[in-house]
Amino acid sequence: MRIVTQAEMKEIEKISAEKHFFNEHLIVENVGLLGAQVLEERIKVFGTDVDVVVLAGKGNNGADGLALARYLVKPGRSVRAFLMFDEKSFSPEALEQLKMAKAFGVKVNAIRDLNELESYFAQNPLPKVVVDAIFGTGVRLPLSNFLYDVIHFVNDNANYTVALDIPTGVSGDSGLAQGNAIKADLTLAVGFPKIGHYVADGAKLSGEVKTLEVGFPAQVTREKGDKFLLTRENLPYKSEARNKFADKKIFGHTLVVGGSHGLTGALAMASSAALKTGSGLVTASTWEPQYQEMVTRLIPEVMTGFVPNDESKWGKVLKGLSKYSSLVIGPGLGRSARARRLVLEIMNNFSGPLVLDADAINALNLKEDSQLFAMRHAPTIMTPHFGEFARFCGLEIEEVEKAPFENLRQAVERTNCTIILKGACTYLGLASGKTYFNFSPNDGMATGGVGDVLAGILGGLLAQDTGLRRE
C-alpha cells in the first residue's frame, strides 16, 4: 500500500479529474458509501440504538462527512450533522452534499458555541459515535478557540470517534498537532494513507487506519511512489526456497561481534537468532576479558572467538574476516574509543554484507564517517532506535521524533545503506530510494534483547544470500 504526501494526493486527484474524468463529486460519493459500510460494522457493538454525530467542516472533508451521514440514515437511527462554519463559506461540493443530506433526512444544526454541542449530548443519552469531518488534511494550524474546545469535549465524551482522512488538528505531512487534536479510534484514509498517520503525534491520534479505495484510476496510482506501508503482500525481500539436500556451508557463516562486561547476553541472543534464521554456521566473538562470560551464555551450536586486548594483534582477526559470509557488530559491544576503532577496522577490512547494531552505531557519526560508508560495496544495514539514530546524525531526539521520515531519507542518501529506524512505527529506508513503514505498535516488543535478535536475524539472512543482498 502506497503512502502519500499531501502534494502527491493533490496531484493524483488532479490527474484523475483531468485525464480520467474522475472528479471530486465521485470521490465524495465513494467516501460516503464505503465509509458508511465500514462504520456500520464498527458500531454494531453499541447495538441498534446509537447516535451518529457528524462534525462537518466547510471544505471537501465536510462534504465527505455529509455524504457519509446520508448513507447512514435509516429508520430508527439518529444521524445528526453539526455545521462548524457558516454555510456561506462552504465549498460547492459541501453545499451540494448538505442539500442532499437534508433531503435524505439527516438532521442538521449550525453551531457556533460549545454549549450547543454539550446540550445535545446531555439531552440525548444514546451512545455517541462522532465522525470528525472538520478539516482532514486541509487543516490550518493553530485551530480557533471554538474548535479547540469542541475537540476537547469530543475526546472526553464520545463513545467512539471516527476521523475522515486524518484527525482534525494533525498535519497530513508531519503528523504534528499544535495544541489540541481529535483522538480517533478509527481513521478512514481517503484513497491512500498519509505520512501523518504514522509519524509524530499522528501515530498516536489516528487509531486504526483503514484505507477507503475510492476508485482512483489504476494508471494514476501505479505511476509513482517511494513510500509504502509494509504488509505481507509487499515485502521488499523475497527469500528463495532452501535446497533440502544442501550442506550447511551452502547457507553461509555469520560472525557476530559484541558483548562487553555484563552485556554478553546481547551477543548470545544475536548469535542464536542468526542460527535459528538459517545461517549454516555462526561464530560469536567478544573482547578477550569477556570470553569466559560469553561461553557460559551461548548455545552449543554457536562457535566462539575473541578480540585480543592488544590491538597490535588485531591483524590476524581482521585477516580472518574473509571466511565469513556476513558480519554483525554491535550487540553489547560497549561504548569506548577501542570499540570505535574496532568498528572502523571491520568496516575497512570486511568486504561482505554488514549489519551495524547498537554500540556499533553509537561508535560512529554521520558527519565524520559518511565517506567510510561510501567506500563499501557490499550491503550495509544499520538498525538504530531513535536515540542511537539521533546521536549518529548529530541531532536531538526530539528532532528525529518530529520528522523521522525526512531525517531517515537524508541519512540513507548520505550513507547509501539500508537503515531500519526502530520504534512503534519502524521505518525501513532503502538505498534504492524507497521507504517502508511498518506500523505495528506492540508493547510486547518493549523488552531488552529485541534489537539484538533483529540484528542476528538480518545477519543470518544475509549469510544465506537471500533477497536482502540484491535489494
pLDDT at residue 271, rounded to an integer: 98
The CATH classification of domain 6-225, taken from the options 3.40.47.10, 3.90.1260.10, 3.40.50.880, 3.40.50.10260: 3.40.50.10260
Q: Where are the domains of the chain?
A: 6-225, 248-470
pLDDT at residue 364, rounded to an integer: 98
Per-residue pLDDT of 84-114, as tens digits, reads: 999 999 999 999 999 999 999 999 999 989 9
Cα–Cα distance for residue pair 110/99, rounded to 1 Å: 14
The CATH classification of domain 248-470, taken from the options 3.40.50.300, 3.40.1190.20, 3.30.70.380, 3.40.50.2000: 3.40.1190.20
pLDDT surpasses 90 at 465:
no
Q: Nearest-5° angle of CA 29, CA 191, CA 60?
A: 50
pLDDT at residue 231, rounded to an integer: 86
Per-residue pLDDT of 304-362, as tens digits, reads: 999 999 999 999 999 999 999 999 999 999 999 999 999 999 999 999 999 999 999 99
Cα–Cα distance for residue pair 354/371, rounded to 1 Å: 16
Backbone φ and ψ of 144, nearest 5°? -70, 160
pLDDT at residue 75, rounded to an integer: 81
Per-residue pLDDT of 273-314, as tens digits, reads: 999 999 999 999 999 999 999 999 999 999 999 999 999 999
Per-residue pLDDT band at 468 (split at 50, 70, 90): low
Per-residue pLDDT band at 223 (split at 50, 70, 90): low
Q: Pairing between strand 425-429 and 435-439? A: antiparallel
Per-residue pLDDT band at 178 (split at 50, 70, 90): confident
pLDDT at residue 138, rounded to an integer: 76
pLDDT at residue 405, rounded to an integer: 94
Rounded average pLDDT over 414-438: 95
What Rg value do the Cα atoms of the chain yield, rounded?
A: 27
